[in-house]
């Protein structure tokens, strides 16, 4: 087993996930890439490994929208590693039309929140054995357009709107990261969330013609993937945030999220509801 620190990253084969993996490998981290499509991910794994021959770049299949897939990936990690130092919950989804996960939950919510929630909880014992252990969860300023936050409609909304579904899932990311921070205070594990910026990547490539057209027009004004990954890399590796926990970051600086995102009742209820949904 490599002596370097170990970082697990979901959605590490493209966009800001790929840049995060590349830069953390350059900093000496061994990387565990959790990706849905191994055929697309293998060339990226090989590219990062070739650039960083002194660290291990591992690749495992994981569809974060599927409870069974997340559990299988966590089991694989537990079999191969005796500790984890950093977990970056990076994988995200924006879709135009309403879809549901293999477990019957609205797909945006299942992908962006439930998968990260379950994976993090399954890997906590390995994180407790890590050095300066950190959980970094990629959220978004889109949490500000979540609209009325109804916990009972997250998994099966009465009416579907793509941006509201995305915003609600990103609000869940912040609530989860805050509640996780409170629960891990005695373990020395930090938990923070972040807004990567509006990034020019293939994210939302399948979201539909209208959203795609808007992104195309906006692309010259968007952040590069390198700029978008900067806050994830900062939270995963910088000594400046060694003991910082429970905050929401934008451009590597703390930022105040919405009142709903600071609601402790929502955070605790969301945790309990999510635990029941994924069978914890």
Whether the predicted pLDDT of 210 surpasses 50: no
Indicate the pLDDT class of residue 229, thresholds 50, 70 and 90. confident
DSSP conformation class of 134 = E
**Domain limits, the chain:** 6-278
pLDDT, residue 146, reads: 86
- CA end-to-end span of the chain: 30
**Beta-sheet strands, E only, within the chain:** 6-10, 30-35, 57-61, 86-89, 134-138, 190-195, 248-250, 253-254
Task: Find out whether 245 and 185 touch, Cβ atoms under 8 Å.
Answer: yes
Q: Are strands 248-250 and 253-254 parallel, antiparallel or unpaired?
A: antiparallel
Q: What is the pLDDT of residues 80-98, one digit of tens each?
A: 999 999 999 999 999 999 9
Q: What is the mean pLDDT of residues 9-14?
A: 95
Give the integer Cα–Cα distance in Å for 208 and 188. Answer: 43
Among 81, 100, 105, 160, which one carries the catalytic annotation? 160
Q: What is the pLDDT of residues 235-277, one digit of tens each?
A: 999 999 999 999 999 999 999 999 999 999 999 999 999 999 9
Q: Which CATH class is domain 6-278?
A: alpha beta
User: Whole-model pTM?
Assistant: 0.90
Give the integer Cα–Cα distance in Å for 30 and 48. Answer: 11
Note if 248 is an active site residue: no
Indicate the pLDDT class of residue 198, thresholds 50, 70 and 90. low
Residue keyed to tokens 């879709």: 95
Indicate the pLDDT class of residue 147, thresholds 50, 70 and 90. confident
């Amino acid at each position: 087993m490599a002596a370097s620190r170990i970082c697990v990253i979901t959605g590490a084969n493209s966009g800001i996930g790929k840049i995060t993996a590349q830069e953390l490998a350059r900093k000496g981290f061994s990387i565990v890439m959790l990706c849905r499509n191994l055929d697309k991910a293998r060339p990226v794994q090989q590219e990062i490994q070739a650039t960083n021959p002194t660290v291990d770049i591992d690749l495992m299949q994981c569809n974060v929208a599927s409870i069974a897939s997340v559990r299988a990936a966590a089991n694989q990690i537990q079999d191969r590693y005796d500790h984890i130092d950093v977990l970056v919950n990076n994988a995200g989804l924006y879709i135009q039309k309403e879809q549901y996960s293999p477990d019957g939950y609205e797909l945006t919510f299942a992908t962006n929140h439930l998968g990260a929630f379950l994976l993090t909880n399954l890997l906590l014992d390995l994180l407790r054995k890590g050095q300066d252990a950190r959980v970094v969860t990629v959220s978004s300023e889109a949490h500000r357009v979540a609209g009325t936050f109804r916990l009972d409609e997250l998994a099966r909304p009465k009416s579907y709107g793509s941006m509201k579904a995305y915003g609600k899932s990103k609000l869940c990311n912040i609530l989860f990261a805050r509640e996780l921070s409170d629960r891990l205070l005695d373990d020395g594990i930090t938990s923070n969330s972040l807004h990567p910026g509006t990034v020019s990547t293939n994210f939302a490539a399948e979201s539909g013609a209208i959203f795609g057209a808007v992104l195309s027009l906006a692309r010259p004004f968007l952040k590069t993937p390198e700029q978008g990954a900067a806050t994830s890399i900062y939270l995963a590796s910088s000594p400046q945030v060694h003991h910082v926990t429970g905050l929401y970051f934008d451009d590597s600086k703390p930022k105040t999220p919405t009142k709903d995102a600071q609601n402790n009742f929502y955070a605790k209820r969301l945790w309990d509801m999510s635990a029941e949904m994924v069978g914890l």
